[in-house]
Structure 1
Amino acid sequence: MTDATGQRYRLTITSVAKAPGTSCPATPPANATDAFVTPERQETTGCVYGILDPVRQVVIEKQTLPDGAPDRFAFDLDGSTVDGPLPASTTLGDDDTATYEIDGSSTFGERDTAGWSLSDLSCTGDTSGVRTDLAAGTVTVGAEGGDVHCVFTNTQGGAIVEKRDADGGALIGTATFRFERPGRPAIVVTDNQAPDLDPTVGRVEVRGLVPGEWTVTETAAPDGYRIDDPRPVTFTVPAGTATPVRVPAFTDSRLLSEALRPQARGASRRQRHRDRRTGRGLPALA
């Protein structure tokens, strides 16, 4: 039941036997045994008590950016309900919710998840006695008050980098890049191979980049090309957005043998023409 202020209560009914001619105690004795008075049991005396325990409904919701991520996120719970302690932990996926009825101050905290950052933690409803700590990833809800709904939003940053021909600027495929940030595992990706999310040849998109400063380095050039600049490029992944950062394109030059190949083919044709004019035998084809 709920009162006019929105406070939720749980009604517990208990009863004890009463000796004839005695009064009911103000509260049920600690060692009393339930003895509901019913005509069927032909009981004629007894004390019935209705006890209202304040409870508060807490809804924990998980949201991800980008939407629809398949990852699961772990939560630690500390507190109690009218039926006993809260479960020690739970896991939620995108759009999942968990509902608890607490009867004492309780804390709900999200653990770190690789490749994700907790970008927002907000509560609606009756937020009296509610404390949120985004940095710690926790929300503490006091026992008294109306229902409250808290949403934990995690964001997965990303980056897009392109590989282009230095002569003409065309996209070229199969380059390999290494993304690095201190304290995080390096991410190595080859164009159009996992974990590249962009099917376009010459364009690589990676996810799982937490907010902060990153570097990307080209570690392997496409076939027939050489790396023009082996130095890393620094970029920043902002917090609270799922839009991937566009890193300036890397350009590679063709290897000398590749650049000369069209000229060599032209020279061969001119040689064959001269042979026809002189009437001499044609050279063997390679």
Structure 2
Amino acid sequence: MTLATLVEVLGPAKAQGHAVAGLVALGWEDMRAYVAAAEAEDCPIILQAGPSCREHTPLRVLGKMFRHLAEGARVPVVAHLDHGYTFDECKEALDSGFTSLMFDGSRKPLAENIAETAAIAEMAHKAGISCEGEIGFVGYDNGEASAGTDPDEAALFSRETGVDAMAISVGNVHLQTDQSGGLDEDRIAAIQAVTDVPLVIHGGSGVPAAQRRKLATQTNICKFNIGTELRQAFGNALRDAVNRDPDRFDRVQILKDTHDPVVAATRAVLQTMRG
């Protein structure tokens, strides 16, 4: 059994100078491919259930799916709630077997974000699992604008909440479909200068691969969340599988054809987080 907490994979990553991928899952096909890729690369991964995934599949089902894959894997696998917005949602994830909770209070005033994140971190730690919080606001491509993380607020947040990992806003955005941007390395350095907590980049798909590798090996950024990049790989593979044979209608056979392309794309992502 290789089910792990966030602390158990980020601690070695920080000490050894690499990052761990937080891979946003939407269903059985992609999460299964993610684990196969991690085994092929011999590295830990974090399976993440975000809001869109939870709309489609109940948390209690996702917890069982994640744990089933983790228990059969040859590498450490974290079962992680991504962007939990309420205490009750985080408690449900804990009760569903998740080993890491990410509470997102980044839209709230600082004092509320700290107080609510601290309560969830306390709940997680009492249960022997991990907690990630977010300070600053990571926006969305062609949507809500980001609010960059203030280093002084980051220091206060990490100290007062007791989180095991801290998501920051440093030029990253969710749902970016290309890697034309880049992160603000001066802001990252300023944040790292005032807190030692492992740092997390949401919207990692939009970070150029070379910068991803540099930051993973030279800074305290220990986790990059990757969603859009692998959704694109899955979508392209599924489209090819459907179009290859118009007479084929068995969705199990069609979906099987997505496995190898998604494994290959995931392996490429995992390779960007090591030296």
Q: TM-score scaled by structure 1?
A: 0.19
Q: Which has the higher contact order (CA 8 A, sep 6+)?
A: 2
More strand by share: 1
Q: TM-score scaled by structure 2?
A: 0.19
Larger radius of gyration: 1
